[in-house]
Amino acid sequence: MGSVPNLLGMCGVAGIYAPGHDAARLAFFALYALQHRGQESAGIAAADGGTLRSHKEMGLLGAIFDEENLRELNGYISVGHTRYSTTGSSIVVNAQPLLEQSVLGDFAFAHNGNLTNTDELRETLSPGVTLQATSDSEVMAKVIVEGSGSMMDRITSLLERARGAYSIALCTKDELYAFRDPWGVRPLCLGTYGQGGYVVASESCALATIGANYVRELKPGEIIRVSKDGLESVMVRPGEKTALCMFEYIYFARPDSNFSGESVYMARYRMGRELAREYPVEADVVMAVPDSAIPGAIGYAAEAQLPYVEGLIKNRYIGRTFISPEQDMRSRGVHLKFNPVVENLNQQRVVVVDDSIVRGTTTPRIVQLLREAGASEVHVRISSPPIMHPCYLGVDMATYDELIAANHTVEEIRQRIGADSLGYLSLDGLVASTGRKRDEMCLGCLTGTYPNVPAWHASRAAPV
Ligand code: 5GP
Ligand code: MG
């Protein structure tokens, strides 16, 4: 059987090669734009042509880095990582970039995604290899350590053997590499920076933040190498079927990012418009569950010709708190994150749009909050289809048991969340909203068909 699949999950990665610039500082600001992809830990490694140094800690970027530790990360090359939180592996040894030593010298490795054949790869490592971390990322890094030939040869060999999702930025003391699995599950884009500089990042919003110029997405199965000789590109397994994760469009990516020139904001806006066509309702106002559902709700309101209002204000600083509230406060649960704008809700028939229902914990609380604020009707609209199947490729939804739509009908879910009505966007409507071809996306969590997952995963049927 396979290994525990979801240790790493969603993350943000960035890589900088910028002669004459402070690459760690650029990585810091690029990662700041990718903080939404992971808040558990973060790190930056930097190289100056001679030495590779790194700093990583648990927590948010702004708390980890200061002038002093950034200044120590000297050099014109860097890679950085923000790590998503999943349970059981929240320890600093799993923070990235991973630092590895090989006969070619030291390298730093930052991974977004999730492997599906970690055990198989681990068995190819020599018995003496000790693994510090518990992640698939470390196994991949060790495959490179134990490989032969140049760094490019070793990465090529890794891409020929590793299955699953991986978008990776890697640097040595004087080169930057970036590569994407042959299915292109997780995003990774390339930009130029200043004179002869290059940047790679999980999302284009990071390029925009530091003033890099977007050039293109890395192709599925592409390895790029940036060195004093410029940029070189190698394609590995180019015949594989492309499968960009649909959940990036639904929830994960920042709306100001583009994938291959397609705006995530506009895709979500169109999802909302389509949702209004598929599930219209007599109502007074349309609102979003902030922040991720805002473009969808604006689209719904436009199509329905209803006013878009702010019904909930999200505390943008709550993030991840390790201080548990007093019992009285804990029972107020969702109030820590959202407070209602009563004036927009009282005696109103409210359409509330969210991007997804995963476990089904958020939505019933939201509905209750809106009713307490005086809403006379609450109509829930979800700008994605029901999430019916786990993700093995990096999104934090690992088992059938925890997915409400794998275990209940839409009508049962409506009752559980306490809504007057519930409508989910159709799969066709979703795909059309992205402007991409259906067979170039991973729709595994919606359809149960995965692009590159071993049969033992895909063949597991959902419990009835
Ligand atoms: P649920 O409470 O049903 O498990 O999750 C649905 C809510 O969580 C939605 O508001 C959605 O925006 C958000 N959400 C969806 N996927 C993720 C995720 O991977 N991580 C986090 N933190 N929130 C998510
Ligand atoms: Mg949300």
pLDDT tens column, 407-429: 999 999 999 999 999 999 999 99
Cβ neighbours of residue 435 closer than 8 Å, sequence gap 6 or more: 262, 267
Domain count within the chain: 2
Ligand nearest to C-alpha 251: 1
Residues 217 and 277 in one domain: no
Residues composing the chain: 464
Look up tokens 């990322």; give the residue. 137
Q: What is the pLDDT of residues 288-320, one digit of tens each?
A: 999 999 999 999 999 999 999 999 999 888 765
Q: Check which CATH number belongs to the domain holding 370 and give it.
A: 3.40.50.2020
Classify residue 378: in a domain, yes or no. Answer: yes
Domain assignment present for residue 319? The answer is: yes
- 113 and 203 share one domain: yes
User: What's the mean pLDDT in 353-362?
Assistant: 95
User: Is pLDDT at 3 greater than 60 in this prediction?
Assistant: no
pLDDT of residue 223: 98
Phi and psi at residue 269, in whole multiples of 5°?
-60, -45
* Poorest-pLDDT segment among 17-31, 162-176, 311-325, 376-390: 311-325
**How many angstroms separate the alpha carbon of residue 88 from the centre of ligand 1?**
19
The alpha carbon of residue 158 and the mean position of all alpha carbons in its chain are separated, in whole angstroms, by 22
User: For position 131, which CATH number holds?
Assistant: 3.60.20.10
Ligand 1: lining residues by beta carbon, under 6 Å: 251, 289, 292, 354-363, 395-396
- Pinpoint the alpha helices (H) of 201-255: 204-210, 246-247
Domain hosting residue 174, numbered range: 11-240
Specify whether 83 is located in the same domain as 142.
yes
pLDDT grade, residue 322 (50/70/90)? low
My answer on whether 205 and 291 are in the same domain is: no
Lowest mean pLDDT among 141-155, 267-281, 333-347, 363-377: 333-347
Please list the active-site residues: 11
pLDDT of 337 = 87
Same structural domain, 219 and 297: no
Terminal alpha carbon distance of the chain: 23
Supply the pLDDT for residue 94.
Answer: 83
Task: Tell me the whole-structure pTM to 2 decimals.
Answer: 0.94
Per-residue pLDDT, 327: 63
Ligand 1 centre from 141 Cα, in Å?
Answer: 30
pLDDT for 8 equals 54
